[in-house]
Structure 1
Amino acid sequence: MRLQSEKIYLRAVESSDATRIMLWENNPSFWHVSETEIPFSLHDIHHFIENSQHFRQTGQLRLIICLNENDLPVGCVDFYDADFKHRRAGIGILIAEPENKEKGYASEAIRLLAKYGRDVFDFQQIYAMISVSNEPSLRLFEACGFEKSGVLKSWRKTGKNREDIAFYQLILEEL
């Protein structure tokens, strides 16, 4: 499977991605958005990759974002907490390196995954939960057509503080 747009394509996670994913998952600077608390082992990542074929059972699907020009993986995009009965899933995205941010890769990945979710899994909507302080992500999801439908007060613990989370939805039937 390969979903392609102007600058990027999305592909399935492969076993050769394990070390890269482990480095991304174990980078503490990303933990505040992924809610990770402890590092993952390479064994954990391999187990995750093996189970990635079972989206309907696990509710999570991760795809690798690669550049069309050179096949370089620059990040990943996920469906999580997929609910097939109610036709919805959460969406998360990571562009790993600062030099690859603000180049349109994330918005292309979100649009590709949204269309895939609608066309293949018959999702009616996808949602994102974003820290209100994460202004780049708020702008990204708004630019992709997501609408803020609420704020979860004091939802996430960050260090010794608590943070509000904005809840964004995209109704896919309107795409």
Structure 2
Amino acid sequence: MLQAVVLRAPEPDDLEFLFQLENDPDLWAHADVLPAPVSRHALREYLRHATASLADAGQLRLIISNEAQEPVGTLDLYDYSARHQRAGVGIAVLPQERRRGRAAAALRALLPYARQQLLLHQLYCTVAASNEASIKLFREIGFFQVGIRRDWLRTARPLGWENAVEMQLIL
């Protein structure tokens, strides 16, 4: 089911939404940083400086809003390379908003923006091999699997490791 979404820049009013999303332990397992709560102060500071361009900051966060203009997720471009015209892409949606087509709609909205305004040639993502929903999502949008990184992601289990699926989309 395709849902209407809008991608927009973060606003100061997004503080509580970002606080909820960033402090969701289920999302920590998919992050490349050590799991730790994020304070409102840190998020307030982030929002004060969130106006930097992709070229200046090397990353770009967009808010995914639903039909009622409420924030329901984030779409991040990261690891930007101006020379190679590529960026990594990550997406997070609130638990109660998942499986409604919002992530697919957000990615579909991103593609022409990435190609035409950001002048990107390609996007890529790294997905935990066990995250079948995300792998299916990215395939549905047109990403292809280009490799597997063995024991790439640390799991919540002590000394546990998981493979990562590398995916790519040429725009």
TM-score by length of 1: 0.89
Q: Which moved more, 1:45-54 or 1:89-98?
A: 45-54
Corresponding residue for 2:46? Answer: 48
Contact between 1:52 and 1:60, CA under 8 Å: does it hold in 2? no
Report whether the alignment pairs 1:168 with 2:167.
yes
Corresponding residue of 2:147: 150
Decide whether the 8 Å contact of 2:64 with 2:73 is kept in 1. yes
Q: Note if 1:120 corresponds to 2:124.
A: no
Match of 1:30 among 15, 23, 27: 27
Kept after mapping to 1: 8 A contact 2:3/2:102: no
C-alpha deviation, 1:35, in angstroms: 3.1
Tell me which amino acid in the other structure corresponds to 1:67: N
How many residue pairs end up in the alignment?
Answer: 166
Identity across the alignment (%): 34
Q: Which runs of 4+ in 1 moved over 6 A?
A: none
Partner residue of 2:81 out of 75, 80, 83: 83
The superposition leaves residues 7-51 of structure 1 with CA deviations (integer Å, 9 ceiling, x where unpaired) of 111111001101210221011111011234211111211222222
**CA distance in structure 1 between the partners assigned to 2:32 and 2:19 by the alignment:** 15
95, 98, 105: which one aligns with 1:97: 95
Local SS of the residue matching 2:51? coil
Instruction: Give me the whole-angstrom Cα distance separating, in 2, the residues matched to 1:60 and 1:49.
Output: 14
> Contact (CA 8 Å) 1:74, 1:97: kept in 2 or not?
no
Deviations 1:121-174 (A, max 9, x none): 1100000100000000000000000000001111111122011100000000xx
Question: Please, what is the CA RMSD of the aligned residues?
Answer: 1.5
> Are the counterparts in 1 of residues 149 and 165 from structure 2 also a CA contact under 8 Å?
yes
| Alpha carbons of structure 1 residues 133 and 6: separation in structure 2 relative to 1, 3 Å | closer
- 2:130 maps to 133
**Structure 1 unpaired stretches of 5+:** none
For normalisation by structure 2, the TM-score amounts to 0.91
In structure 2, distance between residues paired with 1:133 and 1:103:
20
Which 5+ residue runs of structure 2 have no aligned equivalent?
none
